[in-house]
Chain A
Amino acid sequence: MPGELTQDRIQKTWERSKDDPPANRRAAGAPHFANPPTVIVMVGLPARGKTYMSKKLTRYLNWIGLPTKVFNVGEYRREAVKNCSSYDFFKPDNECAVKIRQQCALAALRDVHSYLKDEGGQIAVFDATNTTRDRREMILQFGSDNGFKIFFIESVCDDPSVIASNIMEVKVSCPDYRDCNKTDAMLDFQRRIECYKTSYQPLDPDQHDRNLSFIKVIDVGRRFLVNRIQNHIQSKIIYYLMNIHVQPRSIYLCRHGESTDNLEGRLGGDSGLSPRGKQFSAALAGFVEEQQLQDLKVWSSQLCRSIQTAERLGVPYEQWKALNEIDAGMCEEMTYNEMKQKFPEEFALRDEDKYYYRYPAGESYQDLVQRVEPVIMDLERQENVLVICHQAVMRCLLAYFLDKSAEEMPYLKCPLHTVLKLTPVAYGCKVESISLNVEAVNTHRDRPEDVKRGPGTLIRRNSVTPLTSPESNIKKPRIDDLDEADFSELPPSVSSPSLCSPSHTPISLSGQHWLGRVCLT
């Protein structure tokens, strides 16, 4: 007999009535079909974009709701070895160094194990060169011992200009070279690459590696070789990798001009622009012209206020229903006060867990992410784009680009009449906030102080440093002189004092900023 169903008060999902207290986990937004934990293993010579892809992929996977974390073996190495500004460390005949590097890889794998087994992680990205069959065999064994699926991403590139450009963008400013000038750093790094070349065994789809699941990314995405896709998540990862590119470009995000509903403090609805909103549209048109962009695509939602804003620009634009504002269901067109009066419980629940909270007969931020995902995928393919959307939608998109957690997303500041210009830089995204100097009401509502917090939402840490808890600050023996190294045993986990707490990261220069804090000396 069909059992009794109850509706979760926050997510409005129907579930079997339970006698036990509600589970601490929130229901996933969409079935993810990613049941066995997965280890994504990067493969490739230095300066082939492995870390770039690792970080980007991790950001995407976390955003769609899959707890993912990067484990960069170079970070572990920097922790273990104080001074590493010479390629000598990477010479294949430097036995002591080889041992250290091996230990670092093992330490990283131990943390991978911990993340996937004990910390609720779903996907771990093992970011290292992994250029030899031996190393990969060890990882495959590790996967098999623990029931993890292994998926390789190999980046192959022999274009010298691409490699030089990579080195300039992310290597010369790396902590390894803090005491060097750029030219010396470049030279040393190129020698470092040579150290790996002789032992490099690329993935071989025809013979040795024909039974492995992998994607080979060739020449920065010009060509791909895909072997034995096993499941949904691998398929999505491949689709994502095939859509990203490294061409310089900017993405402009803004909301529609102030609407008449905004003036009355009403949620949702489909009203038109207020006089100030129209002023903003004119200012936006001027701004777009000033930017002097070739080939700017303009996207808008299908709601009146966005379309009116886009129309004023006088250029072709595309309407996406997926960009429509979050559906407030039964609370559509109410003011916050009206909602508080008519649905006091709903009002309180929303403040308790704003990301997962679904309006009755409406949507949640979690639903929005799913709805807006095709927009993100297309944005990745595009070059210069201006997206005219809405407060909640813009917070979703921004959270993707700036790697904000589910907890932060609903509180990101996206004021009216302000354009955010996002430009990819190094491993992250530069943000410029440009106010167009047209007055508007403030529609931002901060999390109230006195509110009871809901069960912890996923706090992803895709900062590169490992670690189970911030308290453990195990200092490891530093190796000042390689000859003295005694590395019979590394402590169970490599510690790092830095844990970039996301809520304190300033809005500017995200990504870059973290990199500075993460690459410790």
Chain B
Amino acid sequence: MMRGSSGTKLTHQPDRAVCMTNCPTLIVTVGLPARGKTYISKKLTRYLNWIGVPTREFNVGQYRRDFVKIYKSFEFFRPDNEEGLKIRRQCASAALNDVRQYLTEEGGQVAVFDATNTTRERRETIIQFAEQNGFKVFFVESVCEDPDVIQENIVQVKLSSPDYTNCNTEEAVEDFLKRIKCYENSYETLEEVLDRDLSYIKIMDVGQRYMVNRVLDHIQSRIVYYLMNIHITPRSIYLCRHGESELNVTGRIGGDSGLTPRGKAFGKKLSQFLETQGISDLKVWTSQMKRTIQTAEALNVPYEQWKVLNEIDAGVCEEMMYEEIQDHYPLEFALRDQDKYRYRYPKGESYEDLVQRLEPVIMELERQENVLVVCHQAVMRCLLAYFLDKTAEELPYLKCPLHTVLKLTPVAYGCKVESISLNVESVNTHRERPENVAVSRMSKEALLTVPAHQ
């Protein structure tokens, strides 16, 4: 549970000392080029933001690219290149400055300082910087000597880097390998004895082994747990909703109804679709609601039920049509349109609550390989927002239509999405944000964007 993240609220005492549990945290990556530092930085940032911890990454390489408009060759990184060293130091300082601003003035809670940081001297500078500003430091080192892994990394993310737009593949790989060599001689890995007072995790051989030292607080513990659960084995995650349900068709939200004939047809189509995908070892997960289970039953494969995948609890509005909600609770309806992410139905849940409830699902999805998750509209929006790095503002309006499968495949630093409609007609359940969200609005204005239903 994060201090100040979804689900918990802190009552403040303004004159409390700065560095208690709410100390901003500076995560510092360490490692030779092509060891997955940026991959880890981006993924970690995405995860922390999703669970409600404002996080931002600061990639020093990016600062360098902005400064040195045109990259010529690995020579820039040679340890005896005075000019190069000076520029690189400046870029690191500029990045740290932005870190300071983000954590002290812009409400950031975690900053990820993504650079090689391979010398003790550089790390000492950062530690002092953090101390001066009251930040906690946590190092994440990635160590890997497997040439296949390194080669794969270079191919996946370096070749397409702006640094190499004008090179062919062979030239780029050759240059990059020489670039790595520039760092090797001065590389001082985090050590058991010398660095015993630092907080860090050392990831070895893409997660085969970890060394964890002095985890100081909750957020560091969560970060370690996350990093130990992610992997890079290729796989795909399929997200879809249950087939069309009886309540869907009458425009009612929530409830626990069964599938319509069209919904059942979707189940069959889904089964056929999965067969064409030819997936080895597909795990299927559903919620504990009738409509997702009925859908999974059509697949004729074993599946696991998760209660936490149940649809958002609409509390007093369960099984109501939007028109009825407007009728009985016009104030609530307006408030929801004003802040759909944080709005909690009376005696029900908010999207913010959903995210917290779904976190174990995300953690397990990270551990797994090929998975199909049969869930619900709001739940699917939350999961999708995690994979596609959507903000809290965008999340409740992501389009997740019935009878459509989203296939997510990790690629480079992000996620490729394929939307596959299984060509079974269904009602539309997506309600866009209306123009007028004021409490004083008229019924007509509130109901403008309600999708058609029986």
**Contact surface of A with B, Cβ cutoff 8 Å:** 1-3, 5, 7, 12-14, 16, 27, 29-31, 33, 205, 222-229, 231-232, 235, 238-239, 242-243, 270, 302, 316-322, 332, 361, 367, 370, 374-375, 378, 381
Contact = CB atoms under 8 A, between A and B. Distances in A.
B149 interface: no
A235 B367 contact: yes
B409 interface: no
- From A14, A29, A231, A332, name the one whose CB has the most chain B CB atoms within 10 angstroms: A14
Contacts of A224: 210-213
Nearest to B13: A316
A307 B285 CA distance: 37
B297 A16 contact: yes
Given A1-B264, A2-B264, A320 B7 contact: yes
Contacts of A14: 288-290, 293-294, 305
A270 B316 CA distance: 14
B215 A320 contact: no
B10 interface: yes
A242 B12 contact: no
A7 B214 CA distance: 48
A321 B264 contact: no
A244 B214 CA distance: 13
B306 interface: yes
A210 to B, nearest CB: 8
A228 B208 contact: yes
A16 B209 CA distance: 42
Given A5-B293, A229-B228, A367 B214 contact: no
Contact of A30 (B3, B10, B295, B306): B306
B230 to A, nearest CB: 11
In the A-B complex, list the 4 residue pairs whose CB atoms are closest, starting with the nearest. A31-B304, A226-B210, A224-B212, A2-B297
A125 to B, nearest CB: 21
B228 A235 contact: yes
Interface string B355-386: 01000100010010000000000000000000
Nearest to A269: B347
A225 B211 contact: yes
Given A224-B211, A225-B210, A227-B209, A320 B8 contact: yes
B296 to A, nearest CB: 9
Given A235-B229, A316-B11, A375-B1, A223 B212 contact: yes
Contacts of A318: 3, 8-11
B328 interface: no
A302 B215 CA distance: 29
Nearest to A315: B13
Contacts of A227: 208-209
Contacts of B294: 2, 5, 14
B445 interface: no
B224 interface: yes
B360 A30 contact: yes
B154 interface: no
Nearest to A3: B297
Nearest to A310: B11
Contacts of B12: 316
A26 to B, nearest CB: 13
Contacts of B9: 302, 318-319
A33 B213 CA distance: 28
A260 B80 CA distance: 77
B65 interface: no
Contacts of B318: 361
B259 interface: yes
Interface residues of B, number: 55
Given A226-B211, A242-B224, A321-B7, 18 more contacts: A1-B264, A1-B298, A2-B267, A2-B298, A3-B297, A5-B290, A14-B289, A33-B364, A223-B214, A226-B210, A226-B212, A231-B367, A235-B229, A318-B9, A320-B1, A321-B8, A370-B307, A381-B221
A13 B7 contact: no
Contacts of A319: 8-9, 11
B89 interface: no
Question: Quick one: which of B11, B210, B267 has the most chain A CB within 10 A?
Answer: B11
Contact of A228 (B209, B293, B304): B209
**Prevailing SS type, chain B contact patch:** mixed
Nearest to A7: B290
Contact of B305 (A3, A31, A33, A243): A31
B353 interface: yes
Nearest to A239: B225
A2 B308 CA distance: 23
19 contacts: A1-B264, A2-B294, A2-B295, A13-B305, A14-B288, A30-B360, A31-B306, A223-B192, A223-B211, A223-B214, A224-B211, A224-B213, A226-B209, A235-B367, A318-B3, A319-B8, A319-B11, A321-B8, A361-B256
Interface of B: 1, 3, 7-13, 16, 192, 196, 207-215, 217-218, 221, 224-225, 228-229, 256, 258-259, 264, 267-268, 285, 288-290, 293-295, 297-298, 304-308, 318, 347, 353, 356, 360, 364, 367
Nearest to A33: B364
B307 A367 contact: yes
A370 B358 CA distance: 12
B208 A242 contact: no
A232 B7 contact: no
Contacts of B10: 316, 318
Given A5-B290, A317-B11, A374 B213 contact: no
A482 B82 CA distance: 77
Contacts of B196: 223
Nearest to B259: A2
A222 B214 contact: yes
Given A2-B297, A321-B8, A367-B307, A232 B221 contact: no
Contacts of A239: 221, 225, 228
B1 A242 contact: no
Contacts of A242: 212, 215, 221, 224-225
Contacts of B356: 321-322
A227 B264 CA distance: 46
Contacts of B367: 231-232, 235
Contacts of B224: 242
Contacts of B293: 5, 14
A2 B156 CA distance: 42
A232 B288 contact: no
B212 A322 contact: no
A57 B77 CA distance: 49
Given A238-B228, A316-B13, A321-B7, A31 B192 contact: no
A33 B285 CA distance: 12
A440 to B, nearest CB: 25
A188 to B, nearest CB: 33
Given A2-B259, A5-B293, A235-B367, A225 B209 contact: yes
A3 to B, nearest CB: 6
A457 B205 CA distance: 43
A240 B318 CA distance: 37
Nearest to B264: A2
Contacts of A226: 209-212, 228
Given A242-B221, A242-B224, A321 B353 contact: yes
Contacts of A12: 288
A381 B305 CA distance: 30
Nearest to B10: A318
A222 B11 contact: no
A243 B221 CA distance: 7
A68 B212 CA distance: 27
A195 B306 CA distance: 50
Contact of B213 (A16, A223, A235, A378): A223
Contacts of B11: 316-319
Contacts of B264: 1-2
Nearest to B226: A239
B221 A322 contact: no
Contacts of A232: 364, 367
A361 B257 CA distance: 12
A316 B3 CA distance: 12
